[in-house]
Amino acid sequence: MVDTVEKPQHLKNPRRAFIKKTGKKLVRKIAKFQSGQSIVPDTPKIDNSYFPFLSEFTDNWKTIQAEALEVLKYREAIPGFQEISPDQYRLAKEQNWKTFVLFGFGQRLEKNASLAPKTAQILETVPNLQTAMFSILAPGYHIPAHKGVTKGILRSHIGLIIPKDREKCRIRVEDTITAWEEGEIFVFDDTYEHEVWNDTDEERVILLFDFDRPMKFWGRFLNKSFLQVMKLTAFYQDPKKNLQTAEDRLEAAIRQADANMEAMSEPAAKP
């Protein structure tokens, strides 16, 4: 049975569809050039030895995990991925894939970062960081096969809260399947086809972050130019606006939770 998902009405705009179609053609044309400019292997997964800054994450993963657990106290206010990026409606349905964003398009989200300050501090050691989030996957959820936008960006995952039956919680990148492990980190090129399964009855939480692929000068120049153009489109502007709304919503939820706790701690009035 094919699982069909209705495209949100505002994504059916002809101008938006034209920009998306044209953008995909442009991305395909420049991908080969970016591959030639890369100073790390153009493979689905890339060895950690090319990225010495990753040790900051593995050395401090327990601290990052503890901050993620604090954030999860407010999980009901954490948005689904499609609420931040509407174009992800085929991948993220309802509240099955939640994202607590710390950095978006190179910009630090101050309110969210204040809830995970050490994690944000470590993320700032990543050269040319683009996006970072706690990625929260519901039990039993499957993210369908898909590909990322540009070879100019690489993606890293570090396991934080992984189901006990971890072999059933995994990601496929091309022909390689990896089960997440707490404290373990890896890097991959998300322009290769990838998909995710959480075939367990437990939640999975990782820290996901994107950073610029190390490239020669003209590769870096092209990548920077491409990202600047992207920032002029709805594919950037919509998530930017939605991130602000999500931050405000979470801040309000925290204030309400604190007020509730304060009310509960007040001594009961004597009859």
- Tokens for 78, please give them: 């954490």
For the domain covering 20-250, report its CATH number: 2.60.120.330
What number is the average pLDDT over the span 204-227? 94
| pTM of the full structure | 0.85
Cross-sheet strand order for the sheet of 204-212: 45-46, 185-188, 153-161, 204-212, 129-137, 97-104, 107-108
pLDDT of residue 2: 41
81 pLDDT tier (thresholds 50, 70, 90): confident
Q: Which of 163, 162, 153 is nearest to 132 (CA)?
A: 153
pLDDT at 170 over 50: yes
pLDDT of residue 1: 39
Percent share of the chain, pLDDT over 90: 62
pLDDT of residue 17: 55
pLDDT digits (tens, 9 = 90+) for 20-76: 566 666 777 788 899 999 999 999 999 999 999 999 999 999 999 999 999 999 999
CA distances from 129 to 180, 187, 209 (A): 22, 13, 8
Spell out the domain ranges in the chain.
20-250
pLDDT of residue 253: 79
